[in-house]
Structure formats: structure tokens, C-alpha cells
A and B are shown apart, each in its own frame.
Chain A
Amino acid sequence: MKNPKFAAFFRWLLSLFDVRKWEKKSRVIAVVLLSLFVVATALAFVKPSEQALMDSASEKIRAELQKDETRSRRQVAITYNDLYFINYASFSTAGVKGISEKYVGFAGSVHHADEGAWNVTGQFINYTYRMLGCGQSMLYGAKLTILLTTISIVCGLFIAIFLALGKISKNPLISLPCRAYIFFFRGTPLMIQIFCIYLAVPGIFEGFSWRSLFDSNDPEGVFKGAFVAACIAFVLNSAAYCAEIVRAAVESIDKGQYEAAKALGMSYGQTMSKIIIPQSARRMIPPVCNEFVMMIKDASLVFVIGLMDITTISKTISASGSYLVFIPALVIYLIITAFFTYVFGKIEKKFSVYE
């Protein structure tokens, strides 16, 4: 730990865990979260087991379940969500109309949830569970949205810095390709870019497929491959948008800063990395945050290549179930957006200490 900057960062990280230094508000939130966690853990011990939920099923369902053992296509679908302190189970029969039973287990008791408030509660739990991607594929739902947008904004911003500096450059050999890149990726729809990268790239390179990037025995490989393709498309796209943000921020820095750096003998690279980019960083944050929030919503475009984010999952559920599903979807989006807006606000504050 010789690097003093790293040490400072480490100290800052440690200071985050120093409760005495927290603001009062943060302390209250922490206490609330902690007590919720304790309550949830306590409830988890008295939660109804999967067996208890199965036992509440009616004779009819049990008969169907037994028949299923011998059928070539099973008829009864069991959804069982093992959320920490709430259980939700539903039996429904595929294809055959008529038999459908739902249960919500809460704090030790099992509620029949075919109608009324328990039904709504159960559905909300079940939908939320699916949209968050619990118990499902690694890349489903909220996980996909958060992962995809975070990767694309971080990598995109990194590329964007070079693109922006390239675009400002007086050398046409550098500035023209950068301009062309930005023009292309801002001027074409993201959906088609995703399509091209996912479908056309393997078509051009014979024998290459996105899936082949991963172990062929990996059952998730197909989604991981598609996710990589989607990531590349999103990174390339967000780089173009962020490049314009970076350019505007860099150009807003006073000319005197360049002169002072030059008079002190600093090279172009040193001037940019030590003087200009750190100062423009603060000015970039609000528009980048905006871009990020837009991208959280744009993430639903991955449905064109078979990936499912919150929007796609909620649409799928609503096609076979109820429109109520959109309410938890909205809430999840709001929570994600609120969280990242908060994080960006903190970063902005950190960058503006000198003002």
C-alpha cells in the first residue's frame, strides 16, 4: 500500500463503516434496515415450509398431481417462491381450464389466496420475485438491467473520454473517425445495433457464435453469450452519447487552465489526465446520470435477442395473467433509479469539494 492515493481511498472506505461519523439520517435508515432484517430473520424461522403449502392443496389438485406422474406432458404447474420470510405457492393446471389454487404463507400461517387482498399480495410477491430474477437464470430481470446499464455506462464513459478528445483534436486523421463513430452510433437505433451485433457478427465470421465464448456445457451459455453481445452494443452506443457529454464538459473548462499547465511544462496527456478531465468530471455527472437513467429503461430492448429484463418479464406475465404486474415493475424501476440517482449525487458531492 505504498500508493498514497490508494491508501486515502482505503481510509475513505473504512470511514464509511465508522458509525459515529454518519449523519443522523443515515443512522436512522441503518437502524430501520437492520431491524427489518432482524424481524425477517425471526419470521424466517416460523415460515411455512414448502410441504405445509403443498398440504393445503385441495383433493382435486392432489389427484392431478398424482396423475402427472404418468403423463407425457405434465398438467399441474407449481410455483413456489422461497423468499426469505414470505412464501408464495400456486398450483395451476396448464392447458386445462378450471383448477388454480394459490397460497401465501406469512409468519407461520398459510392463507388461501385465490381471491381478495391475499391474492393481490401473493401476485405482487410472485411477480416481484420473478422480475428481480430470484431463483431464475443469472441474467434475468433486475439483475440484467442493473448489470447491463452499469457495465455500459462505466465502459462507455471510459471510451467516451478518448472519443471526445479525439473529436476535439485538430488532427483530421483522429477527429474524423471519432466524429464518424459518434455520428453513426447516435444516428442509428440501438435496437438495430443490438440485432447487428448479435445476429450479423456471427454471420460474417464463419464458425463464431456468441455462445462459443463460454463453455459449451454451460447451460447458461446461450444467455451469457447474448448478454455479451448486448453489452457490446450498449457500451458502443453509450460511448457515443457520453462522448458528447464529455466533449461539452471538457470544452467548458477555462482556457487559462491549459495555459497554466503548458507554462508549467506539462504535456497534452498530463494536462488532460491531471487537470482537465478531473475538473470536467463534476460537470459530466448530472448529464451522465440522466443518460444512465435513460439506459435503465432502454435495457428492455434486449428482448429482441431473447433476454428478459423487468419490462419484458412484466409484459410476459401480463399476457397470461393480470395487469397488476406493472405496479411492482414500476416500483422496482423507481427503486433502481432512486438508488443510482443517490449514488450519482454522492459522487457529484465528492467531486465538488473544492468549490
Chain B
Amino acid sequence: MKRKIIAMLLAAAMLCVSFVGCGSDDSKKDVSSAAAVQGSVDVSNVKLIKEGTLSVGMEIGYPPFEDKAENGDPIGYDVDLVYALADKMGLEVNIVDTAFDVIFAGIGTNYDCVVSAVTITDERRENCLFSEPYIDSYQAVVVKKGSDIKIESLKDLSGKSVALQDATTSKALLEDMIKTGTVTDCKMGPSEKVLTAFTALDNGEYDVVLCDSPVADTYITNYPDKYELAFLDKENVEQFGVAMAKNDVELQTAVNEAMKQLKEEGFFEENTAKWFA
């Protein structure tokens, strides 16, 4: 009998918690809709897929930029950035989880813009507009802890097997380097998720992982006994930006304006400290 009562109490408590959870969600929305009135960036001439909402394409699964919290909510550097931008523009946020290899195809139909650790490249610039860059990233080479592989420059990837994520700049870079003969005899294994690449490295299938430096930092910080950084390509900086439809100049202007304000407020330093500490 006693047990039953405890069980019921527990259940009731859980219900309460979940209600409170919903409640706090609601209050969040209230804040953002309240901000809608006070949005410091004018978005009246921006055409959005859904009125009053910034729809964002994002591949959730690239920590620390985008990740899933225990309860399934998207979290990460980019997620915080998106909420901050939307706050400035007085909009609500709708995150659309999309696989990275098809993410650019959905701009303008499924979402207004893509914030998903997108490196600004000339190739991508042909098909979409980019905001000002919001973070610098380098190509990083990660090896298994205690490995005797020495990488002094990207050329040293010659003769190595390299795991990386499909459709990333890392892959495009390595493909180019293979094609142009910068590296020779290099075996490239693209996988759908960056996690697969790191697991395969840990299992000893591949020699190295090639990825963006923030991602490398996260994995090395989280698993210091498994991975270590072998090389950081400081010569060639890559910059992440918000990608928008080719003709969506209005949104680009608005995003850039919002970013400028955030920069002045020191948001980026704060966010970097939060996610890359």
C-alpha cells in the first residue's frame, strides 16, 4: 500500500515537473514574442516562410555547434546564435533538422536560412548568399591518443587513411588535394556523421580524422584519453556564415545588422567561452 502511494506521489510529481517544463517553455516564447515588438533590427521588408518566425535549417549532430540535449532539444553554439539573432530581429525560431548533404537544397522552401557550421566557400557562394562570418575555423587533423603519426602539414596526409564527414569542407579540401596531387596515396573514408568518423578512428580503422577545429577541440576535450590533436592548419582560415537564398538580400542585411549589434554587445566572446571552454 505504502509503495503504491509513493508511486502515485512520484507520478504526480513528474506530471508537475513536466507541466512546469511546458510552462517555462511558454514563458520563453512569451519573451520572444514580447521582443517582437521591441526587435532592434527592422525586418518588415524581409519575406519569411512563416510570418513572424525565422525558420533555420540545421543538421543536429555536429557538436559543439549543434547537438541534442538529453531531452532532445537542440543545443549548441549555432543554436544560441540563432536565438540571439532572432531575438534581435523580433522573430520566433523554428529549427528544421536536415541532413547536411542536402541542406542547401531546402533554402527558400523548407527554411529561410542555414546555420549549421557552414564554411563560406566560393563554390557555395555561387548558389547562396552568406552573412558576415561569425567564427573562424581551421582544418584540424586528429589522431588516436598515443599514436606515432606525425603531421607537420596537410601534405603529410599522403599515404594515410583519413576519416571525415561527407559533404563538409574537409572532404572538399581533401578531394581537391588528392585531385591536384598535393597529397598522394591518401585513402578517404567519408561517413554520414562526424561521430562515425571518430568512432572508426578510435577502433583503429583509420589513421586520422580531418575536421573543423572546433569539432576536433570538443572531441579531444570530451575524450582526452582517446584522441589528440596532430595538426592545425593555421595558414588557411575558414569562416562560418549564415547561408541564405541567392536573391534574399533583405534577410542578409537584417542578419548582418543583427550580428553587428551582437558583436558590439560581446555576445560572440560569451558564446565562444560557453561552448569551447
* In the complex, A touching B (Cβ < 8 A): yes
- How far does the alpha carbon of A14 sit from the alpha carbon of B200 in the complex, in Å? 48
Given A199-B196, A319-B167 in contact, is the A211-B154 Cβ separation under 8 Å?
Answer: no
Which residues of A in the span 189-203 have a Cβ within 8 Å of any Cβ on B?
195, 198-199, 202-203
Residues of B within 8 A of A320 (CB): 123, 172, 175
Instruction: For B163, give the chain A residue with the smallest CB separation.
Output: A306
| A138-163 vs B, Cβ < 8 Å mask (1 yes, 0 no) | 00000000000000000000000000
Residues of B within 8 A of A226 (CB): 189, 205
Q: Answer whether residue B95 sits at the interface, using C-beta atoms and an 8 A cutoff.
A: no
B182 touches A223 (CB 8 A): no
Partner of B204, one of A73, A96, A198, A202: A202
Instruction: For A77, give the chain B residue with the smallest CB separation.
Output: B179
| A168-183 vs B, Cβ < 8 Å mask (1 yes, 0 no) | 0000000000000000
A305 touches B203 (CB 8 A): no
For the complex of A and B, 10 pairs with smallest distance between CB atoms:
A306-B189, A94-B176, A74-B180, A209-B204, A77-B179, A202-B203, A222-B161, A74-B182, A77-B180, A97-B122
Instruction: For A205, give the chain B residue with the smallest CB separation.
Output: B203
B203 touches A68 (CB 8 A): no
CB distance from B97 to the nearest CB of A (A): 18
Given A72-B153, A202-B203, A305-B196 in contact, is the A222-B181 Cβ separation under 8 Å?
Answer: no
Residues of B within 8 A of A211 (CB): 161, 204-206
Residues of B within 8 A of A137 (CB): 187
Residues of B within 8 A of A256 (CB): none
Q: Answer whether residue B177 sits at the interface, using C-beta atoms and an 8 A cutoff.
A: yes
Can you name 15 extra interface pairs (CB under 8 A) apart from A209-B205, A220-B187? A73-B176, A73-B180, A73-B236, A78-B179, A195-B196, A198-B205, A209-B204, A222-B205, A222-B206, A305-B189, A305-B196, A306-B191, A316-B190, A319-B101, A320-B123
Instruction: For B192, give the chain A residue with the smallest CB separation.
Output: A304
Instruction: For B189, give the chain A residue with the smallest CB separation.
Output: A306
- How far does the alpha carbon of A225 sit from the alpha carbon of B207 in the complex, in Å? 13
B203 touches A222 (CB 8 A): no
A residues whose Cβ falls under 8 Å from a Cβ of B: 68, 72-79, 94-97, 137, 195, 198-199, 202-203, 209-212, 219-223, 225-226, 303-308, 315-316, 319-320
Q: Answer whether residue B199 sits at the interface, using C-beta atoms and an 8 A cutoff.
A: yes
Instruction: For B154, give the chain A residue with the smallest CB separation.
Output: A73
B181 touches A219 (CB 8 A): no
CB distance from A296 to the nearest CB of B (A): 21
Q: Answer whether residue B225 sits at the interface, using C-beta atoms and an 8 A cutoff.
A: no
A77 touches B176 (CB 8 A): yes
CB distance from A138 to the nearest CB of B (A): 11
CB distance from B182 to the nearest CB of A (A): 5
Given A219-B185, A306-B190, A320-B123 in contact, is the A202-B205 Cβ separation under 8 Å?
Answer: yes
Residues of A within 8 A of B167 (CB): 319
Given A219-B185, A222-B161, A306-B163 in contact, is the A94-B179 Cβ separation under 8 Å?
Answer: yes
A223 touches B189 (CB 8 A): yes
Partner of A303, one of B154, B159, B192, B199: B192
Most A Cβ at <10 Å: residue of B122, B175, B191 = B191
A/B pair count, beta carbons within 8 Å: 104
| B118-161 vs A, Cβ < 8 Å mask (1 yes, 0 no) | 00011100100000000000000000000000000111000101
Partner of B122, one of A68, A76, A96, A202: A96
Residues of B within 8 A of A319 (CB): 101, 167
Most A Cβ at <10 Å: residue of B121, B126, B179 = B179
- How far does the alpha carbon of A319 sit from the alpha carbon of B101 in the complex, in Å? 8
Partner of A212, one of B182, B189, B192, B204: B204
A306 touches B185 (CB 8 A): no
Partner of B205, one of A78, A79, A225, A304: A225
Q: Answer whether residue B70 sits at the interface, using C-beta atoms and an 8 A cutoff.
A: no
- How far does the alpha carbon of A76 sit from the alpha carbon of B206 in the complex, in Å? 28
Q: Answer whether residue B264 sits at the interface, using C-beta atoms and an 8 A cutoff.
A: no
- How far does the alpha carbon of A145 sit from the alpha carbon of B123 in the complex, in Å? 31
- How far does the alpha carbon of A203 sit from the alpha carbon of B201 in the complex, in Å? 11
Residues of B within 8 A of A74 (CB): 177, 180-182
A210 touches B205 (CB 8 A): yes
A203 touches B203 (CB 8 A): yes
B200 touches A199 (CB 8 A): yes
Q: Answer whether residue B51 sits at the interface, using C-beta atoms and an 8 A cutoff.
A: no
| B159-173 vs A, Cβ < 8 Å mask (1 yes, 0 no) | 101010011000010
Residues of B within 8 A of A209 (CB): 203-205
CB distance from B1 to the nearest CB of A (A): 41
Residues of B within 8 A of A222 (CB): 161, 187, 189, 205-207
Q: What are 10 residue pairs bridging A and B, where the CB atoms are less than 8 Å apart in the complex?
A: A73-B180, A78-B179, A199-B203, A203-B202, A210-B203, A212-B204, A219-B185, A225-B205, A307-B189, A319-B167
Residues of B within 8 A of A305 (CB): 189, 191, 196, 200
- How far does the alpha carbon of A222 sit from the alpha carbon of B167 in the complex, in Å? 20
